[in-house]
Copies of this chain bind each other. A is one copy, B any other.
Amino acid sequence: MTAEVVPTAAALVIGNEILSGKVQDTNSRDLALLLRKLGVRLEQVLVIPDDRARIAAAVAHLAKSYDWVFTSGGVGPTHDDVTIEAVAEAFGVRAVTDEETAQLIRRHYGARCTEGHLRMALVPEGAALETTESVRWPTVRMGNTFVLPGIPEVFRMKLAVVEHVVGRHRPFVSHAVYTKMDEGDLKPLLDAVVAAHPEVDVGSYPTWTDPRFRTKLTFDGLEESAVVAAKERFLASLPAGEPQWTDP
C-alpha cells in the first residue's frame, strides 16, 4: 500500500434486529466517520441476518475484495452469536478457545462463570488479539477482518483499536456549499465543474426540510488545492447575487 493508493474497506453488519426494523444501525455510520478521518474509503456496507453460512460467504468475498473488513454483531454467548465461527469458516480455520481471553473471563465472572461466558473466548485459529492502552479487552482481528461487537457503546469503544491498527493515511478533504437554487438549475453549473475537475467527487443533496437552503453541494478529494479549485469554479459560476454560504 503506497501513499498514493487509498485503502478500501467494507462493513458487514450482522443482525436480524436491524433487518426487522427493531433497531436502527448506527455502527456503520460511526465506522464511516472514523474511516473518513483515517483516509480509508468505505466502499460498501452490507447488512445480513444472523446466519452462519451467509456470514461466512460474505466475509470470504469481502476479505478478498477490500483492504479492510469490519464485522459488527453476532459476538456473544448465545445461539444467535455465530460470527466467530463464520469468520473462521471464511478463512478456512477452526474456532478455538483463546486461553488468555478465557482467563480474563474467569477472573471477571469468578464463581459465576458459565460455559456461556466462556464462549466469548472463542476466536478463529490464528487470529490476532488487538489491544490498546485504553481498550484492554482483546479485539479479534483475523487477517484483514476485524470482528466487532454489535452493542453500539462497545462498538464505539473498539474503534480506538481500529484506529491504532489501521493507522492514519492521507486524509480526505471535504468542502461544502449551500445554496437556495434547485438541482435542475444547478445541473449545467455542476456538469462544468465535474468536467473540469474529474479528480474531485462532487455531490449534490437537495433538502425538503431545511428552510435555510435548497441544495447542499459537496466537493471531496485527496488534494486540497483541487477541492478548493473545484469549489471556487462552482462559486464563480453562480448567478450574481444568488445567496450561498460555504463550509469551511
Seen from chain A, the residues whose Cβ lies within 8 Å of a Cβ on chain B are 13, 16-26, 28-30, 32-33, 35-36, 41-50, 76-81, 109, 112-117, 119-120, 151, 153-154, 172, 174, 183-188, 190-191, 194, 201-209, 218, 220
Chief secondary structure at chain A's binding surface? mixed
CB <8 Å contact, A76 and B183:
yes
Cβ-defined contact, B47 with A20, below 8 A = no
Which of A41, A116, A206 has the most C-beta atoms of chain B within 10 angstroms of its own C-beta? A116
- Taking CB as reference atom, which chain B residue is nearest A28? B47
Contact at B187–A115, with CB atoms within 8 Å? yes
Given contacts A20-B220, A187-B116, contact A47 B45 (CB under 8 A): yes
Contact present for A78 and B204 (CB under 8 Å): yes
Beta-carbon contact of A29 and B36 below 8 Å? no
A119: chain B residues at CB < 8 Å are 184, 187
Partner of A153, one of B114, B172, B185, B209: B209
Q: In the complex, how many angstroms separate the beta carbon of A245 from the nearest chain B beta carbon? A: 17
